[in-house]
Structure 1
Amino acid sequence: MSPPSRETVTEISRATGISRQTLYSWRHLWKREGELVPASSSSAEAWDASDKLAAVIQAAGLNGADLGAYCRERGLYPQQLARWRQAAEYANGLDAPSMADQKELQRKNQELIRQNRRLERELQKKEKALAEEAALLLLTKKFESLWPQERET
């Protein structure tokens, strides 16, 4: 499961005869212990945040040849680790929103979602009314073409 081979659980199960459920539970245990076990065979950039953070933590004390060996073993580049580390540092920096800010953003987001739904309902009503008006206009024109009214002059 671990890089660089990154075989899927299904592939490992077929190759070894170990049930998929057992492999999933092992992977879950390894992740709880802080091991780097990506969830898929995708590239390192597609890993989830917890896997990226685990890689940064594991590589934090390494330098030079040890870091190179660590990266080769997991199919990573040192630049990726540096970028992930920087992102983790910025996540908790001065610009990181406080809990109150996050709640305010969440409240505003919910308000915008409600407003969007209201506007969508209003748009649907207007589209329906417009379609009815177009149908009435069409019927009126057909009626007038079949039974023209005499005009008084």
Structure 2
Amino acid sequence: MKPPYDAAVRAAIRKRMSPPNRESVAAIARSTGITTQTLYNWRAQWQKEGDLVPATSKAPEHWSPGDKLAAVIQAAGLSGSDLGAFCRERGLYPRQLARWRQAAEDANSPTAPSMADHKELQRRNQEQAREIRRLERELRKKEKALVEAAALLMVSEKCKALWPQDGES
């Protein structure tokens, strides 16, 4: 039977997981005695509810894309002092949110490449890689031929120097 945890314990855990504290699930589990699986389940539940609970000690720039998007969505309706308070509470800067929002908008723009575009790019990259390998083989072959011609030229010059022809001195 699983032990019951009241709302106050859950709220305290949520606060410890949330920015700016950002304690890891493992650290919270060690200090509270609550299993990591329970903590992960709670975090997943809170994230489904739309809360920003990354539960990581990483800096905001290293958050997962989902956590960044959640922060952008939560801050979407805020401005001025409300936005400042939101950012301070989560250890963010407004410019980070603006950059993340722009990245989300760019990802959904009509100019974003589709899967067909990605496949076409991969196909062209493979063709270009094959062509590069073919040209490198051809270049190596020509370099060997050039080295051989230079060696033959040097040998012929030395032979001429050692054994001059009748008309040469």
Q: Structure 2 length as normaliser, TM-score?
A: 0.61
CA deviations over 1:60-113 (Å, ceiling 9, x no partner): 00001110111111110001000101111111123311232133235556x47x
* Equivalent-residue separation in structure 2 for 1:54 and 1:42 (angstroms): 16
Residues 56 and 85 of structure 1 are in contact (CA less than 8 Å); yes or no, is this contact kept in structure 2?
Answer: yes
Structure 2 unaligned regions, length at least 5: 1-16, 134-169
* Equivalent-residue separation in structure 2 for 1:52 and 1:6 (angstroms): 14
Q: What is residue 80 of structure 1 aligned with on the other side?
A: 96
Q: What is residue 40 of structure 2 aligned with on the other side?
A: 24
Structure 1 unaligned regions, length at least 5: 120-153
Q: What is residue 112 of structure 2 aligned with on the other side?
A: 96
Residues 44 and 75 of structure 1 are in contact (CA less than 8 Å); yes or no, is this contact kept in structure 2?
Answer: yes
Q: Structure 1 length as normaliser, TM-score?
A: 0.67
Larger radius of gyration: 2
* Equivalent-residue separation in structure 1 for 2:97 and 2:62 (angstroms): 13
* Equivalent-residue separation in structure 2 for 1:106 and 1:38 (angstroms): 34
**Cα drift, residue 15 of structure 1:** 2.0
CA change 1:105–1:36 in 2 (3 A) is farther
* Equivalent-residue separation in structure 2 for 1:15 and 1:102 (angstroms): 47
Within 5 A, what are the aligned runs for 1:1-153?
1-107=17-123, 111=126
Aligned CA-pair RMSD: 2.6
* Equivalent-residue separation in structure 2 for 1:51 and 1:108 (angstroms): 34
CA deviations over 1:25-54 (Å, ceiling 9, x no partner): 111122222221215210000001111011
Identity %: 68
